Amino acid sequence: MIKTNRFTLNHNVLDYEDGTNEVLILEPSTDKVAGDILFLHGHQVGARVGAWEVPRYLGPLLSRGYRIIAPSLLGYGKTSGEPDYCGPLTLKRLEATIRDFVDGPVHVMGASRGGTLAVLFAEHFSELAASCTAIAGVYDLESMVNQTSDERMKQNIINETGGTVDSYNKRDPKKLCDKLKAPLHIVHGLKDEQIPVSQAEDFSLFLQEKNINQKLTILEKSGHKLFSERIFKEVMIPFLETE
């Protein structure tokens, strides 16, 4: 256990039949907990520390009284297994983890691949999602692979998914949009240099045409990393507090 003036951190490594899951629980140092947030991290180049990168940028949520449940995804931190870019194995582990820690719905939030995964989680396990905030995610892997000039990202997606149409379809949030019951907030930086803003715009338009409850926020001066205190306070927290 690690204790600071803003939160208490509990580190858990859980054993399942298919491997281990690492989960950090960040308890806010407030009298009243505002709610639970399942936070899903993005890809990490180099040291894949998983959930351990989360505490340094979620201070605004903790100060507001939210309890953070932060799992390390497959192949990151001490969660065993190979990464599969938001695939069925990752979703299976996440479901097992979250059911071990909560009894009811949580706010689901994620960034980059975690943003994609947040939407997929809210679709697959709609009874567990009170709301969904998808930050700088990819919502069409096939178009991302075909359009990106980032060869490292392209190969990473192909390697983790298998690079087939079927594998992309299994990770396509549009395919399961009718199962999305939680209010969805799509947040993206206009100047995102890794994932083009068109991913968010096209997904939002698709959902609008299906009359699905969603909100799109484009941050005109921002890039891929959207973790400033101002963005949390002005964009993400107000959405949470209206749901």
- C-alpha–C-alpha distance, residues 194 and 127, integer Å: 32
* Residues near 173 by beta carbon (within 8 Å), at least 6 away in sequence: 116, 119, 120, 123, 139, 180, 203
> Domains, the chain, ranges and CATH?
2-234 (3.40.50.1820)
pTM of the model: 0.95
Total residues found in the chain within this entry: 243
Q: List the structure tokens of 9.
A: 């951190």
Q: Which positions ≥6 away from 44 have C-beta within 8 Å? A: 50, 53, 76
CA-CA distance, 63 to 150, in Å (whole number)?
Answer: 36
pLDDT at residue number 163: 94
Phi, psi of 116 (to 5 degrees): -60, -45
Amino acid sitting at position 26: L
Q: What is the pLDDT along the chain (243 residues), one digit of tens a residue?
A: 676 667 899 999 999 888 999 999 999 988 788 999 999 999 988 789 999 999 999 999 999 999 999 999 999 999 999 999 999 999 999 998 899 988 889 999 999 999 999 999 999 999 999 999 999 999 999 999 998 888 988 999 999 999 999 999 999 999 999 999 999 999 999 999 999 999 999 999 999 999 999 999 999 999 999 999 999 999 999 999 986
| Residue 20 pLDDT | 93
pLDDT of residue 242: 85
- At residue 1, the pLDDT reads 66
